Amino acid sequence: MKYKLFKKANPDFQSRIEAFTSGILTPDPKGITLWSMDPLRAYTQLELYLSVCSFSGCEPETREFPLMRRSVWQYCNGKGRGGSLEKIGAVVKLKVKRRGNKYVTGYQKTDAGEDFGDAIVARGTYLVNRFSERRNKPNLYSLWKILGGPSKSERVGHRRGYAVYKIIKLLYENEGEKLTCSEIAKEAKIATITCSHVLNDLGNVGVIDYKSPYRDIEGKRAKGWARYKVRNPSEFLRRDAEKLYQEIRKTRPWFDAKSNLMIIIDFIRQDPYREYEYNEIAKATGICPEKVSNCLSSLRELDYLEAEFIGGKVKSIAKANEHTRDLWEILFEPIEKISYNLDPSAYSGFYDILDYYEENEEKRVEAIKKQLEVYDKEKTHIGPRGGEEIRNLILHVLSSSGKSMKFSHIYEEVKKICSRKIESGGLVRHLKILIKSGDVKKVGKGFYKINPSLN
């Protein structure tokens, strides 16, 4: 059956949108890795790394290609993370026979990875380059920053790419109109708090115009939270909670947070005459803020609650701009069309950009290098991702050596290729993590070696 693996992993329209956006396109080097693979062969870890470097016109083991080979390998196997190419059916794991009749793990691009993935990645590369060449550029324009992380959030039930798709589609179709966050959340069927965060991020990136009292400033939310108040306390106290739930289901058929709703209703009924803010309720009940916000906005929609913003009644306003049009027409519209029935012919010209790059290798290399440069500049080098970067560099140094290395030598080599300052104490912590995970072995006082099974 055509696209069997992909259909099994992504059986419906939403999961396919997620796979083609968050699953393939973010972070940027992941899609380029898939595009570089010849569908007629399987790749081991080193072969895959050399393949994507050659395809990108980058020298391996340099800062020109912003990832080491272990990181590229993880795009296929995921290493326990959501959104890997294998998980969505874009590549398949195989046992590959190499010298000495030895079998090693390899990955091969599937028919869906070839027929859909290559064209979509080419479109993503073209889009990033188009943004970078504009006189009026977005604030940020890597696919990583536009689409967000690839992993699926258990709290909202979908990957970030799906929410971005729904919002961009709605704004594009209502170009010239100013829409509020609540209007978009209702029409797109996205939880209000999720919608607020995505709109805020897209506004900061600059691919939409967005003004709102909900703003992220230096990682913290600015003042302007909505405060909810019961419109008619006596009536609210009389209403049966089960009937309230049924009323919400009539206008929001997708609403399934019944148990959370009951807890929140009981909490408000303890004092229905004062104001409530959803973070306060979340902290008191242990329910995640997004679900609390969803329940409160549902009750507000039925007029049981009313809401005001601290400091005045200010509405969030979103509007499409020229970057929104490009994002929709170049990327999301083609993805939408082909996702219904997995039919490449459903969008006329689906392969146009891919064909252009395949006929012009020099232009392709130039475009990919530009995209990687943008990604490397915009990616975050702090927190968990920063720690992962350092651990990958340690593994790269040990793997390249092929033998045990003294700590001081490892430290010096990592410092040469690390994009940020690192202290020896920090390197010790990351070595301990790698030893615990089984990736590295300590083979003597102050000497370390990569686990042979990783080579």
The CATH number of the domain holding residue 410 is 1.10.10.10
pLDDT of res. 211: 79
Q: Does 209 share its domain with 232?
A: no
Q: Which of 277, 294, 323 represents a domain boundary (last residue)?
A: 323
Residue with tokens 């010790």, as numbered in its chain: 428
124 plus 8 within the same structural domain: yes
HSE toward the beta carbon, residue 66, CA cutoff 13 A: 22
Q: Considering the entire predicted model, what is its pTM?
A: 0.67
Tell me: do 118 and 27 sit in the same domain.
yes
Q: Is 380 within 8 Å of 420 (Cβ atoms)?
A: no
What does the pLDDT read at residue 282? 82
Note whether 197 and 246 are same-domain residues.
no
* Boundary residue ending a domain (309, 333, 368): 309
The total of other beta-carbon atoms located within 10 Å of residue 181's CB is 27
Is there a single domain that holds both residue 48 and residue 104? yes
Instruction: Please name the helix (run of DSSP H) or strand (run of DSSP E) that holds residue 406, with its range, or none.
Output: strand 405-406
User: What is the phi/psi pair of residue 179, to 5°?
Assistant: -110, 140
pLDDT of res. 225: 55
How far is it, in rounded angstroms, from Cα 35 to Cα 77? Answer: 16
Contact 89, 1 (CB under 8 A): no
d(CA 339, CA 341): 6
Query: Is the distance from CB of 450 to CB of 399 less than 8 angstroms?
Result: yes
Instruction: Clarify whether residues 100 and 8 are in a common domain.
Output: yes
pLDDT at 314: 52
- Tell me: do 374 and 389 sit in the same domain: no
| Site of tokens 């395949």 | 358
Of 251, 285, 255, the residue nearest 268 (C-alpha):
285
Domain assignment of residue 266, yes or no: yes
Q: How far is CA 390 from CA 28, 66, 419, 435, in A?
A: 19, 13, 9, 14
Residue 299 falls inside a structural domain: yes
The tokens describing 4, both together, are: 């069997």
Q: Are residues 119 and 240 in the same domain?
A: no
Indicate left, alpha or beta for 109 from its phi (over 0: left) and psi (-120 to 50: alpha): beta
**What is the maximum span of the chain, computed from C-alpha positions, in angstroms?**
81
Is 328 contained in some domain?
A: no
Instruction: Classify residue 171: in a domain, yes or no.
Output: yes
What are the residue ranges in the chain where pLDDT is below 70?
61-64, 79-83, 149-159, 212-226, 308-315, 380-386, 417-421, 452-455
Domain interval for residue 230: 226-309
Give the span between the Cα atoms of 433 and 65, in whole angstroms. 25
* Residue 420 and residue 435 in one domain: yes
Question: Hunting for tokens 């909810």 — which residue is that?
Answer: 228
Give the tokens for residue 156.
Answer: 């909202």
Percentages of the chain per state (helix, strand, coil), in multiples of 5: 60, 15, 30
- Compute and round to an integer the Cα radius of gyration of the chain: 25
Same domain, 63 and 155: no
Domain limit, last residue, from 323, 352, 370: 323
Evaluate whether residue 196 is within a structural domain.
Answer: yes
> Cα dist. 425→83, 262, 411, 430 in Å?
32, 50, 10, 9
Yes or no: say if 107 and 51 are a contact pair by the CB < 8 Å rule. Answer: no
In this structure, are residues 224 and 215 in contact, taking their beta carbons and an 8 Å threshold?
yes
Report if residue 334 sits inside a domain: no
In a domain, residue 37? The reply is yes
pLDDT of residue 296: 87
Q: Tokens standing for 172? A: 């594009």
How many Å apart are CA 397 and CA 386, to the nearest integer?
17
Of the candidates 217, 201, 204, 199, the residue with the CA atom closest to the CA atom of residue 139 = 204
**Ramachandran quadrant class, 223 (left: phi over 0; alpha: psi -120 to 50; beta: rest):** beta
Q: Based on the domain organization, do 190 and 248 belong to the same domain?
A: no
Q: How many residues are present in the chain?
A: 455
Q: Residue 106's pLDDT is what?
A: 92
**In angstroms, rounded to a whole number, what is the distance separating the alpha carbons of residues 237 and 389?**
54
Q: Are 162 and 329 in contact (CB under 8 A)?
A: no
Helix 361-378 with 118-133: angle, nearest 10 deg: 70
Contact 339, 3 (CB under 8 A): no
Answer yes or no: do 8 and 126 share one domain: yes
200 with 216: CB under 8 angstroms? yes
Q: What is the dihedral of CA 19, 358, 134, 147, to 10 degrees?
A: 10
Q: How many domains does the chain have?
A: 4
Three-state SS at 1? coil
| Beta-carbon contacts of residue 164 (< 8 Å; ≥ 6 apart) | 21, 146, 147, 148, 198, 202
- Is residue 120 in a domain? yes
